[in-house]
Amino acid sequence: MVVLSQTALDGHFSILIKTCKPPSAVLADIHTVDLSSPDAGALLVRACEDHGFFKATNHGIPAELTSRLEAEALGFFSLPQPEKDASGPANPFGYGSKAIGRNGDVGWVEYLLFSTIPEVFSAALPSALLRNRPIFQSTVEDYVVEVRNVTCHVLDLISDNLGIKPRDGISSLLRDEKSDSCFRVNHYPACPDSLQALINGRNLVGFGEHTDPQIISVLRSNNTSGFQICLRDGSWVSVPPDDTSLFFLVGDSFQVLTNGRFRTVKHRVLADHSRSRTSMIYFGGPAINQKIRPLSSLMSEGEESLYEEFTWYEYKKSAYKSRLADYRLGPFEKATVRRT
């Protein structure tokens, strides 16, 4: 179902925004992993196999840093719309609102997208953002360093449990100075009463269903509900918010690296009726020319690769030509296993 919104985020034009009924189920058996636990590696692997998703506690990122980043983000999103627009449109980095990608997907969301490559970070952002929010830039840089370190630690724990050699074979892809990782801050305003009356008990879709093309994504959000994942049986469940933990999501590339042992997780965000939601996501990706194929150390004798080899550039180019909900791995599956 879609509704015609007469109240766009910036009030300039009308857009079609999807709605859906909020699921009644809450993810009851969410995998929660204490990263300081001696059995963390085994628990991480099981979570990646079961849901492609888990919550991490004792991650070590200072609460003061995440609070400062959230405050800086809210400060930016609270600016008058013309001032925010001066930091966009996102191409791909910078400020964007409503439009998600270039292929017609829209949502009840505004966002900032940053590159994590040092020489690209500042150069790719509009001067208006750097001029108005210099502390914001510094805080983003500090947070990215912290979250990348935690992510690499998680990947090394997984590698230890799976027997991947070398141990940093996956995490080194994120530590590479040319790693094509990125960082996104999303803001989902509370749904206005006038619009809520139009949609009659349904939720506006803030960010439509999709999988992430990178290796792994790391989500942190404020204490507002709305984030949901799709289970193997196709049902959608809500993930209880927790602003002290990190949520990890297996991406398309990780599914390929494990030859399907880990499954990329489809997810979405619904707008809240009464509270705004702010989230920050680190997308850990390899260098542009990095070849992606199943790791030989994870392949059993005689096991066939389910995917054709491709570079991250080839996959990224294909993924960003698609719609959000498309199955992006399809064109890269071998003909013997390709979905019909």
Catalytically active residues are 277
Asked whether the beta carbons of 15 and 98 are under 8 A apart, the reply is yes
Q: How many CA atoms lie within 13 A of 226 on its CB side?
A: 32
For every residue of the chain, which 3-state class applies, written as one string?
CEEEECCCCCCCCCEEEEEECCCCCECCCCCEEECCCCCHHHHHHHHHHHCCEEEEECCCCCHHHHHHHHHHHHHHHCCCHHHHHCCCCCCCCEEEEEEECCCCEEEEEEEEEEECCHHHHCCCCCHHHHHHCHHHHHHHHHHHHHHHHHHHHHHHHHHHHHCCCCCCCCHHHHHCCCECCEEEEEEECCCCHHHHHHHCCCEEEEEEEECCCCCEEEEEECCCCCEEEECCCCCEEECCCCCCCEEEEECHHHHHHCCCCCCCCCEEEECCCCCCEEEEEEEECCECCCEECCCHHHCCCCCCCCECCEEHHHHHHHHCCCCCCCCCCHHHECCCCCCC
Structure token digits, residue 240: 């209880």
Q: CB 33: neighbour CB atoms within 10 A?
A: 25
